[in-house]
Structure 1
Amino acid sequence: MSHFKISVRAAANTKILFLSMIFHGLEIMYAIRLKKYQHHNQSFVAIVDENDCPYDPFVSAYLSTLVNQSFNTQLRKAIELMFVLQQFASYGIDLPGRMASGQLVNEKEYLLFYDASCVKKSAVENNVISFRRIGDKSLRNIISANHRRKMTVSSETVQGRIRRFREYSRWLFDHYHDLFGLDEVILNKFLRFESRIKIDEGSLGRNRSQKISDPLESVIPDDVFARLMEIILPSSSNNPFSSSKVRNYLIVSILCQTGIRRGALAKLKISDCYFSGTYDRIAIYRSGRDRTDQRLDKPNQKTKSHLVTVSPVLMRQIKIYIEQIRSRVPMRQAHDFIFVSEKNSRGTIGCPISLKSINAIFQKLSDVLQFSIHPHLLRHKWNEVFDKEGEAQGVDPKLLEDIRKYAMGWSELSIMNETYNDKRLALKAKEISLAHQKRMDGL
């Protein structure tokens, strides 16, 4: 009986400890947040507590190692790190303490984190399903399975969260331990721990998508794309915008004709346009710290510098916009960026257009088209058109891929083109298979 009482007491204490860990984790989860700020016209991101103070000196020091990377990269990594901090806090694990002691994180704790990394953050915070009114077990199983499927995040998200945990752990370990005088047992333990995580990262990178796309299916169906080109015209009666029609038309048109990213478009300057000669080129390049750009989320070109080609007609339209519309917007003299805010709802009139404003343009277009469309989708559409034109002109496939890499700003060693090359290969495989089947049917 005494043994039974001890077991009950131990179980109760375990439950109290477990609940304490959950409540502590939830407290941390809601207490910390991201903060974006500027200093000397450079954008930074921090993780702060409810009092707007730095959450942890180790976290702040780690984030300071990322300042030479693009702001969007800093922001993404800070979001990933915040997820890591919240999860391990919910398990009652002090990562700096673990790395300092050499105890590290055991297999069970890591698997808990891995599982949490595979689902949406909202699901981690509130993973509760009510079956009170559902009596059939098979139906409950189906609903539960569907619920888990909807909670699942992409492989890239899982990979990012796991990589952030590994890199932050490595940074903490190096901070606490002198690798030249480190106990060999602790070092080997950490290296095994690190290798275990790298294996998971690598497997996620090799299996990014389980979805098999139909090679005949366009990312934007032709009828939807045609409607987009019609409603974005400033003269269209179906244009959904009450103002800034010319600016929005030019934004969509440039993305369609060049396939550049949203960030590259937002940082285009008047001086980047070649208003001479063939009258059809725009320079795309990475910028250093631009003191004329006061935006907190400063856009930039992600890949290497190159020239893109637009039609001379579009180039003349850009020039007309600059001379006749942009020139009338107050405060535009402070910078050389082409596209500016034309409203003063938040005191931003004349300021360079923000990335959020570009997203808002596409959200409105999506609502009208009843089809989700965004800037990067136009990049994929550009590649589809590029393939068709290249094949129509009889361009050698290898040369076509080299041209694609230049046009997209990818390096010669980049494998990004494989995404689009696979689609063309799938189409060719289909053609050859159909020809073979017809020959076999005729035997």
Structure 2
Amino acid sequence: MKVISYNNNGKTRYSISNDKYIPAHHLITYYLQVQLANKATNTIERKAYELLFAFKYFNKKKVNLIGDIEGLKFFSEEEISIFAKSCKLKLSTLESEYVGSIISEVALRNLMARNQPTKNIVDEGTAKGRFDTFVHFYKFVFNRYHGRALLPLQKQEEYNKCLIEFTTSRKSMGRWKKSFSDPFKSYFPDEKYFELLEITQASSNKNSFYSKVRNELIIKIFIETGLRRGAVAKLKISDVFNDRQPRVRVTRTPDDITDKRRNKAAQKTRAHVSPISAELAAKIEYYIKEIRSKLPNTHTHEFVFVTEKDSRNTLGQPLSLRSYNQIFEKLSDALSIEVTPHILRHKWNEIFDVNIDTLAKELNLDSQAKEDIRKYAMGWSVNSAMADIYNNFRLAVKTREHHLSRQRELSSSIGSRNTAG
């Protein structure tokens, strides 16, 4: 089984099929394409993969999930509990460890508690997303088959008990982190950051990209704005301003009908404006007028960054999200360290911390004003708690400075007493 996607009337559709691309079940397709129709495309894609995990899990256990619901055969407390715990495991780990069709509570705990458990488990959000999507789909299927029927009392009680066990098992999943976050450790070391700046310059002999100018601009936008991948991928010519206040405009246009890409670019946070340097604005204008305009098919859309190789007849078409990933994969190989848009977003916040403190002294800004500036620049809502994450480094440094200062005072005091004695 696998997730498939296709374009239908300008909208990307998702389904789960077998190896011959035949839909696994009409209710799965209906759920993804109709029941979730009001969700963002990226959300539907994520839920498709979460549902795929559940079907692979139960198929391995020889459970006909939809057939059992139709036949009023419900899960036991133990079955639900084991599935909830299994949601924490990587699919590859789960599949490789399945010797039989049944995995026990003991085997599951042993698998999670190995010497390097972080290699076996997924993030908390991923695991709970799998479970939540499964439960939502389970209720959907039940309602499709039995929503208007008067069930026998015993079957209704069994279903109600099953729902209670879903809630109980969800709560018992707990909280966890795959790795310990060291607030003193930079997400992207300064030496690698400067190396990144060097090798992405179009004029650098270390730049190994085919589209040197385009990729330099893409990286510089990430660095200067802290934008997400989707926001950069959906930038249009009309969103770039090269005037007295150079800036890019970040918009939210779900299911943009002008975006013909199979996986459409999407902006996760709210619409906002991000300032950019005059140098970057001028280079983007040069790219649009002198490089982009001379490529075929660019007149059919307004997206800034386009394909410059005629791979699969895509020359001049909007650069795919997969191509953005490939740019960062190549950079990661060149730098011998992982670099992603999200990591550059963290780096942007590190640089912001230094710059905002200087600005705050000049303009007499209080701490709340500084965080409001950060929230606007990152596109967060005014009530977002995300800024707290990026304050950890600064608070940790100040705490360390305080402790070191106290230690120096104590050492000096002890030294003075010893001298006096």
Using the size of structure 1 for normalisation, the TM-score is 0.83
Residue of structure 1 aligned with 2:395, choices 421, 425, 428: 425
Counterparts in 2 of 1:396 and 1:216: CA distance versus 1, 3 Å: same
Residue of structure 2 in register with 1:387 after alignment: 353
State how far apart, in whole Å, the 2-side matches of 1:73 and 1:200 are: 25
Task: Report 1:258-269 matches (<5 A).
Answer: 258-269=225-236
1:187 deviation in Å?
A: 6.0
Task: Report 1:8-407 matches (<5 A).
Answer: 32-64=1-33, 65-100=35-70, 103-127=73-97, 145-146=114-115, 149-178=118-147, 185-186=157-158, 188-200=160-172, 203-204=174-175, 207=176, 209=177, 211-241=179-209, 243-276=210-243, 278-394=244-360, 395-407=365-377
State how far apart, in whole Å, the 2-side matches of 1:36 and 1:403 are: 39
Counterparts in 2 of 1:363 and 1:198: CA distance versus 1, 3 Å: same
Instruction: Indicate if the aligned counterparts of 1:281 and 1:307 stay in contact, CA closer than 8 A.
Output: yes
Q: What is the letter of the counterpart of residue 216 of structure 1?
A: F
1:68 deviation in Å?
A: 2.4
Q: Which runs of 4+ in 1 moved over 6 A?
A: 179-182
Instruction: Indicate if the aligned counterparts of 1:240 and 1:365 stay in contact, CA closer than 8 A.
Output: no
RMSD: 2.4
1:181 deviation in Å?
A: 6.5
Q: What is the letter of the counterpart of residue 212 of structure 2?
A: K
Q: What is the letter of the counterpart of residue 23 of structure 2?
A: P
Counterparts in 2 of 1:151 and 1:190: CA distance versus 1, 3 Å: closer
Instruction: Indicate if the aligned counterparts of 1:44 and 1:67 stay in contact, CA closer than 8 A.
Output: no
1:178 deviation in Å?
A: 4.0
Residue of structure 2 in register with 1:19 after alignment: none
Q: Deviations over 1:158-194 (max 9, x none)?
A: 1221122222222223334448977573564244123
**2:411 is aligned with 1:441:** yes
Counterparts in 2 of 1:161 and 1:399: CA distance versus 1, 3 Å: same
Q: What is the letter of the counterpart of residue 239 of structure 2?
A: D
Instruction: Indicate if the aligned counterparts of 1:342 and 1:349 stay in contact, CA closer than 8 A.
Output: yes
Q: What is the letter of the counterpart of residue 8 of structure 2?
A: H
Instruction: Indicate if the aligned counterparts of 1:295 and 1:354 stay in contact, CA closer than 8 A.
Output: yes
- What are the ranges of 5 or more consecutive residues in structure 1 without an aligned counterpart? 1-31, 130-140
- What are the ranges of 5 or more consecutive residues in structure 2 without an aligned counterpart? 100-109, 414-421
Which SS does the other structure have where 1:442 is aligned? helix
Instruction: Indicate if the aligned counterparts of 2:74 and 2:158 stay in contact, CA closer than 8 A.
Output: no
The size of the alignment, in residue pairs, is 394
1:426 deviation in Å?
A: 2.0
1:440 deviation in Å?
A: 2.9
State how far apart, in whole Å, the 2-side matches of 1:174 and 1:82 are: 20
1:48 deviation in Å?
A: 1.3
Q: What is the letter of the counterpart of residue 55 of structure 1?
A: A
1:147 deviation in Å?
A: 6.5
* Mean CA deviation greater in 402-411 or 51-60: 51-60
Which SS does the other structure have where 1:93 is aligned? coil
* Mean CA deviation greater in 249-258 or 403-412: 403-412
Counterparts in 2 of 1:112 and 1:195: CA distance versus 1, 3 Å: closer
Which SS does the other structure have where 2:400 is aligned? helix
Instruction: Indicate if the aligned counterparts of 1:80 and 1:164 stay in contact, CA closer than 8 A.
Output: yes
| Percentage of matched positions with identical amino acids | 38
State how far apart, in whole Å, the 1-side matches of 2:272 and 2:32 are: 31
1:289 deviation in Å?
A: 3.2
Using the size of structure 2 for normalisation, the TM-score is 0.87
State how far apart, in whole Å, the 2-side matches of 1:103 and 1:434 are: 64
Counterparts in 2 of 1:189 and 1:315: CA distance versus 1, 3 Å: same
Instruction: Indicate if the aligned counterparts of 2:42 and 2:266 stay in contact, CA closer than 8 A.
Output: no
